[in-house]
Chains A and B, each alone.
Chain A
Amino acid sequence: MSQFNPLEAFNLPIVYWQIIWAGIIVAFVTVFALFAVYLERKISAYAQDRMGPMETGGWQGWAQTIADALKLLLKEDIIPELADRRLFKLAPYIVFAGSLGVMAVIPFGVNLIGTDLNIGLYFILALSSTVVIGILMAGWASNNKWALYGAMRSAAQMVSYEIPIGLSLMLPVLLTGSLSMIDITNAQKSGILADGYFWNWYIFRVPPFTLIAFILYFWASLAETNRTPFDIPEAESELVSGYHTEYTGIRFAMFFLAEYANMFIVAAIASVVFLGGPLAPAPWLNWIPGPIWMLLKSLVLVFIQMWLRWTLPRVRVDQLMHICWKIFLPLALVNFIVIATLVVLWQK
């Protein structure tokens, strides 16, 4: 089942398959955002000894986020009078496209992928940097000091944290010798001891370096997605809600969707690159299809993101930069050099 190949199964030309996959991705991201918002509310509630939504839809308030989404879509779309109308309208699309484009190269199964670029991981890093432009555009076009502050902080943070992210993701690339997401997944099938077990995943491959790289990537990705403890671009207590303060209705929904899509994307990248993606943890679990493993691993990481959010307070701006440049960067560099040396020694 994990070897299911949609191209062979339906005998489709690749362009048709890619269009269908794009539709599936958009639908998936929407459904995931609804689910993740619900999950976030429930987790925050239980972390604070509350119950969260309990009424809408009956059992445990499951329909609350659906109702909220409908409300958001029906709301008036307000553009501030002194805003830069053209940039204000353009910004959500750039942010949304930048987030969603990354989904094209994330494998949900060994053959279930939008397009297997041979520069997959590099493509992800490139495309996620365009999100910053959209955020800066939104912040400036709103003509609001909070939005501008949020946008500047967000841009500074994302540009800084891209470096530890890139260096951490390079470890599996060094070990695989390829940037393709499919190659990285397949390389985690075998390696040490028996094939097909979880200890072949890159997180356990070269202890403790790959484990440190995984932790570094995961923490830095929190900054990339503007989540607590690195949520200073959206700091509610000081900036209202950061770069999307002035947005309402469907445009706000697009930012919101992009934010939750980003949460899933960083979790999915971490699970593909470090946790074997669609691979089962043991051969006797292979009967469970790959997409389910992939979703399961990603959702566990999303859960940890939320768990951290409701545990830690927000860091200060100088602490944020301190963590990035004085802790993450040296660790990532040392990791990188050690693994690069080991790979060269192994090849000889």
Chain B
Amino acid sequence: MNFQDIAILFFGLLTILSATFVTFSPKILYSAFSLLFTFFGVAALYLILSADFLAATQVIVYVGGILILIIFGVLLTARITNLEILEQTQQRFIALLPIGSIGLGLILLILFTNWPINLLPNEPTTATIGKKLILTYVIAFEASSVLLIAALIGAVRLGRERNDENVQ
């Protein structure tokens, strides 16, 4: 067990534990803040697997963007901060169907994937990622940018509409 294994175990455990806390925490804001550690754990795992650009992107997008948006949402929603979330299950059999199939799929994925044991050498990935995005996966890349533009325009439209009503 070398240093890398210990690090992977530690950050994996951190990710799983904080993710569990996100799910089971009675306070919604605690869930939001504990997401921070989940995201950081995932970023650290990327970093150990020598995907440094991906790790930084993980932090920038999830911590710097999505998490702040979630916390803003929680803080700006009236009386949500002290809301007690009910933890009880209803209609277990119907719920079992999708959850069970997803779980089964994941287990099968873990069992039948050929996991590379040897780690890749620690080399810059930024240029490779850039080239792949703009050459190999250009359609997916452009499609996601179109999606984002659509979301932006939609947000502006929604914001504008309310203003017009106020004016009238």
Contacts and interface: CB of A to CB of B under 8 A. Distances in A.
Given a CB threshold of 8 Å, the question of whether A touches B is answered with yes
A7 to B, nearest CB: 17
Given A118-B52, A129-B68, A130-B63, 18 more contacts: A87-B33, A94-B36, A117-B52, A118-B124, A118-B126, A119-B53, A122-B57, A125-B56, A125-B64, A126-B64, A129-B60, A129-B63, A130-B36, A130-B59, A133-B63, A136-B75, A155-B72, A159-B64
A152 B68 contact: no
A123 B126 CA distance: 12
Interface residues of B, number: 23
A176 to B, nearest CB: 12
Interface of B: 29-30, 33, 36, 40, 52-53, 56-57, 59-60, 63-65, 67-68, 71-72, 75-76, 81, 124, 126
Interface in A104-149: 117-119, 122-123, 125-127, 129-130, 132-133, 136-137, 140, 148
A258 interface: no
B71 A133 contact: yes
A137 B59 contact: no
Interface residue tally on A, bucketed by range: 20 to 34
A152 B75 contact: yes
A179 B124 CA distance: 10
A159 to B, nearest CB: 6
Chain A at the B interface: SS class: helix
Interface in A202-252: none
A137 B40 CA distance: 16
B130 to A, nearest CB: 11
Contacts of B68: 129, 132-133, 136, 155, 159
A122 B56 contact: yes
B124 to A, nearest CB: 4
A159 B71 CA distance: 13
B33 A133 contact: yes
Nearest to B3: A15
A140 B75 contact: yes
A94 B57 CA distance: 19
Nearest to A162: B64
Contacts of A140: 29, 75, 81
B60 A126 contact: yes
Contacts of B126: 118-119, 122, 179
